[in-house]
């Protein structure tokens, strides 16, 4: 499975989100997930199975496919909660 962390512009915040997602996956003991990052304008549906982004840009991501919407890239508890919900729905947790 591939997860793509997406931000509105630039790559700094999506890279921070990518690192948080990877750390959370490690904490949860989830293997076999590749995490990368991109800005919204460069993201395409074939880049990942799941996209994760903050709610301020999520409306502009419906064309990409499945999107995990988070409140903040620095709220690790919030990211962990939403990511866990997604992983459970896929039978990975």
Return the number of other C-beta atoms located less than 10 Å from residue 45's C-beta: 12
Which pLDDT tens digit goes with each residue over 34-60? 999 999 999 999 999 999 999 999 988
Q: What is the pTM of this model?
A: 0.94
Residue-range domains of the chain with CATH: 2-89 (3.40.50.2300)
Sign (positive or negative) of CA dihedral 39, 43, 47, 32: positive
Report the C-alpha gap between 33 and 87 in whole angstroms: 10
Which pLDDT tens digit goes with each residue over 61-75? 999 999 999 999 999
The distance in angstroms from the start CA to the end CA of the chain is: 13
């Amino acid at each position: 499975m591939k997860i793509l962390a997406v931000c509105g512009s630039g790559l700094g915040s999506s890279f921070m989100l990518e690192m948080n997602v990877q750390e959370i996956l490690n904490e949860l003991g989830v293997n076999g997930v590749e995490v990368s990052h991109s800005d919204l304008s460069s993201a395409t549906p074939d880049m990942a199975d799941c996209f994760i982004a903050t709610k301020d840009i999520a409306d502009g991501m419906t064309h990409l496919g499945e999107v995990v919407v988070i409140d903040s890239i620095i709220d690790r508890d919030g990211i962990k909660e939403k990511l866990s919900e997604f992983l459970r729905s896929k039978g990975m947790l």
